[in-house]
Structure 1
């Protein structure tokens, strides 16, 4: 049986706190203020996963992420672009860090490689575990929105750096 934290959804982002964090960041980096389309979101689809993945980022072990193109469309979010920002929240909705996209590509499931699996920093960092866990994740998230996941679905493979707050910045 799974732990209750495994199925608890994440809380909605605290948009007021995210606005404050963004203002603090752009006050020190005025060029970032041009990115008006930054998003406020979390990793994963459960409280446990959001906090677990955020912790890997905070510890420096995760500098990549992958998401289905169809999931961005479903949420009404634009696809990331190189230089775009997003504010990553924990499971309570509190903004914790600001991430900046540094490299992107779109491809199918089988285009993931070992280097990307290592950069994602999850599980044992192998390509085999990346494929197993992401298949499980996308089957679950697609099912939750009434869709069926396919290995042919387009995936955004995103590399990022942490840019704020200073104590967590790369």
Structure 2
């Protein structure tokens, strides 16, 4: 998958040649559910505890970095590219980000409820206690590969789908 993308988009790879291979969530079911939201176009953002990147030995992503999103079995399905990143505590998430993350009913209230549960669970599994003051990586992304699922890219500005746009 990466070789095909690299051949088709050498300029994007030259700017950001690194990539990670990951899946959404912490279970096979959640990985598949969230990937389905990405495939449908509903999900164009994600959030992760900065501590989780450190626990895996991964660097925090940067604008332009790529990641290969896998399904729950570990099969690569899509290549995503980071288009917006920020760090902040739990309370800095807003309605627009909750909507772009594409989960549940798209509201900030459900985003907060479900992410409290999720981060409490994954932190406990790693022997930590989660706090709303912990640093979170808020990321917006675009789907860049395969072409059948890639977001439309503006040729004027070279930018991906604007998060929150129809």
Q: How large is the Cα RMSD of the aligned pairs?
A: 0.7
- The within-5 A match list for 1:26-105 is 26-34=6-14, 35-105=16-86
Q: Give 5+ residue unaligned stretches, structure 1.
A: 1-20
Displacement of 1:37 in angstroms is 2.3
| Cross-structure match for 1:142 | 123
- The within-5 A match list for 1:3-14 is none
> How many residues get paired?
150
After superposition, give the CA deviation of every residue in 1:16-53 in whole Å (9 maximum; x if it has no partner).
xxxxx100000000123333321000000001100000
CA distance in 1, matches of 2:125, 2:30: 16
Q: Give 5+ residue unaligned stretches, structure 2.
A: 152-166
> Is 1:121 aligned to residue 105 of structure 2?
no
Q: How high is the TM-score relative to the length of structure 1?
A: 0.87
CA distance in 2, matches of 1:32, 1:49: 29
Displacement of 1:139 in angstroms is 0.4
- In the TM superposition, structure 1's runs of 4+ consecutive aligned residues that sit over 4 Å from their partners are none
